Structure 1
Amino acid sequence: MSFMKLKYLDKIEEIFSSSCLAVMALIIAVQVFQRYVLQSSLDWSEELARYLFIWSVYVGCSYATQADRHLEVTILRNMFGPAVAKYITIVAYIFTILFCGCIAVWGMQMVLFLAETGQKTPALEIQMYWIFLSVPVGLGLMAIRTVQRVISILKGEVDFAAMSCK
């Protein structure tokens, strides 16, 4: 994909999502050790692991879109062949962009609402909007990545003949 290459964003998404998963795994391992070996649980570990997982998933979805790693239902593309596959894929991507855009906007409205209310998480007592910010950030990035994919298709950088199943 040559148009709108965002190499720095690729690395940020990959490192951020991987780091969240690594820290989450470490926190869970420490919690298991604390609970079953030392007989003393940490109050905050499960909550932090959950929030790290949420951020990892939303940012990871954007990275998966960029790397073309999302699952797809390709029956229509395969049934009608490469000539029609291009248009079917573009239509599917347009729906994806619309969905991601709507959820990003509504997610940002929720973030602003939570910022106004001052709601905090139970154990960590951090502002709840930091967790909900993962939705507009992740889906906004995914919309950008999907636009990149549409542009690459329109520029002829995707070979649908090679993609079809025999």
Structure 2
Amino acid sequence: MRTKIDQILEYILSLLLALMVLNVLWQVASRYLLNDPSAFTDELSRYLLIWVGLLGAAYASGKGMHVAIELLERALSEKQKRIQKLCIQLVIVVFAFLVLIIGGSRLVHISFELGQTSSAMQIPLGYVYLALPLSGFLIAYYSLSDFVNLLKNN
């Protein structure tokens, strides 16, 4: 299942990045070639960057490519390294759950409840903020999966 989620994330991230590139190219072309800058492209590129950043963080977390300070790990024994990795995965799950899932879900709910819309595109901002709980679920899934794998490889 993890490889399927990775494949879906790779496809979505590639699509979002391609859309962002085309969007910025259109912004530049409309500004300099047509002398009539497009009104929505700046806002759309910001929202696409939010989605790419958060889903990219989830993807990087799943691939183990997140930033790590390995200075302490070098000084630990194998058993201590395993305990450290288990603790790190638990901290990641707690952070993803509290900040991204709960906090992000509350933000999405409040945004929809208040009827907040973006200024140029007039889309509900709850859709933009939906990237927070979605990436939180993915990060928590990946971390729990790594935690279980660490326990199995005892």
**Aligned counterparts of 1:54 and 1:153: Cα–Cα separation in 2:** 31
Amino-acid identity (%): 25
**What are the superposed Cα offsets for residues 22-49 of structure 1, whole Å, 9 maximum, x if unpaired?**
1101110111111122221000001111
Contact kept in structure 2, 1:76 and 1:88, CA below 8 Å: no
* Cα offset, 1:14, TM superposition: 1.2
Structure 1: state its 5+ residue gaps: 158-166
Larger relative helix fraction: 2
Higher relative contact order (CA 8 A, sep 6+): 1
Q: How many pairs align?
A: 153
Q: 1:61-140 alignment to 2 at 5 Å?
A: 61-103=57-99, 104-140=101-137
Once the two structures are TM-superposed, the CA of residue 85 in structure 1 deviates from its matched residue by 0.8
* Aligned positions of 1:1-166 closer than 5 A: 5-103=1-99, 104-156=101-153
- Distance in 1, Cα, partners of 2:90 & 2:142: 12
TM-score in terms of structure 1 length: 0.87
CA–CA distance in 2 between the matches of 1:18 and 1:146?
Answer: 23
Partner SS state of residue 80, structure 1: coil
Q: Which TM-score applies when normalising by structure 2?
A: 0.94
CA distance in structure 2 between the partners assigned to 1:87 and 1:57 by the alignment:
30
The root-mean-square deviation of aligned C-alpha atoms, in Å, is 1.3
**In 2, Cα distance between the equivalents of 1:76 and 1:85?**
9
SS at match of 1:146: helix
Q: Which runs of 4+ in 1 moved over 2 A?
A: 5-8
How far apart are residue 57 of structure 1 and its match? 1.3
